[in-house]
Amino acid sequence: MALLAANPGLFAAVLGLFGLAIGSFLNVVIHRLPLVLERQWRAQAADLDGRLATAEPEPYNLVRPRSRCPACQAPIRSAHNIPVLSWLMLRGRCAACQAAISVRYPIVELATGIAFAAVAWRFGFGATAVLACLFTAYLIALAGIDIDRQLLPDILTVPLLWIGLVASLWLGAGDAPPPAVLRDAVIGAVGGYVFLWLVFHLFRLATGKEGMGYGDFKLFAAIGAWLGWQMLPLVLLLAAFVGAAVGIAMMAASRLGRGVPIPFGPYLAGAAWIAMLWGPAIVERYLTFAGLG
Ligand SMILES: [Zn+2]
């Protein structure tokens, strides 16, 4: 522990390796959580209709059954479950049937590892780095599920909001968030939700279209709880800017028609992560640049 506290580089390397393993778990969350939720919703719908829920053949959750190849159903051996390395060694193919394994899995693992290392480097050894890694993991899972399913599940966004608020109860004095000072966190949580809710309804009144979903409001509220209300304008600006750039690029590549909904969650998540690491510095530089600081 003392060794980690004294060596920022070592701490970053350790958290980076830990991040690779967490990224492997996040792949499972991104893939399975929507399926688990769908099963629950189907069972509830059957219950409402007075139908008998069809018996599920086997338990399905985040830990069971073990990961299998989607093509040949062969269980994935632990030796082939090492983050990034296994994918490279198997050249992106299933060891049993040679079916291609999506490059997304190593990308999520690598991204999580790099993000954790960056957090360790930025915040140094301590509770803030641990909290920031937890926030990072939630953001990656939410972004992945939103890209796949245009869904930001309550089961992730709501606890994320509570954790942010509770953390600010006994931490959060003086230093840059996370966690934010309690007062900033509460205003951020309420303000984040209400602001996007207003934008949503005004946009719908003006255009008759729905530009985002309630999951976006909850994610923005959680971001406010973690970073404090002061960071929300920056997060929104970054998200809108990158979102517009990617949207235009995709339209130009004609992969999307106009009016096809693009999930906003991944941009919010990415912007929140940037704001967590460099937000205060960006704001300060901007104020100086604008002659206000
Ligand atoms: Zn296979």
> Among candidates 226, 234, 269, 263, which has minimal Cα distance to 247?
263
Selection from 179, 32, 30, 178 nearest residue 111 by Cα: 30
Q: How many CA atoms within 13 Å lie on the side-chain side of 149? A: 17
Dist CA 148 CA 263 (whole Å): 9
How far does the centroid of ligand 1 lie from the alpha carbon of residue 140, in Å?
26
Q: Give 68 Cα–ligand 1 centroid separation in angstroms.
A: 8
Tell me the CA–centroid distance for residue 179 and ligand 1, in Å: 44
Rounded distance from Cα 49 to ligand 1 centre (Å): 39
Q: What pTM value is reported for the model? A: 0.91
**Ligand 1 centroid to 57 CA: how many Å?**
22
How many whole angstroms separate alpha carbon 233 and alpha carbon 244? 16
Q: What's the token pair of residue 124?
A: 């140094």
Ligand 1 centroid to 29 CA: how many Å?
21
| Residue 263 alpha carbon to ligand 1 centre in Å | 31
Per-residue pLDDT of the chain in tens (293 residues, 90 and over written 9): 788 888 889 999 999 999 999 999 999 999 999 999 999 998 888 888 887 766 666 788 888 888 888 888 888 888 888 899 999 999 999 989 999 989 999 999 999 999 999 999 999 998 899 999 999 999 999 999 999 999 999 999 999 999 999 999 877 565 678 899 999 999 999 999 999 999 989 988 998 887 778 899 999 999 999 999 999 999 999 999 888 888 888 777 766 555 556 688 999 999 999 999 999 888 888 888 887 75
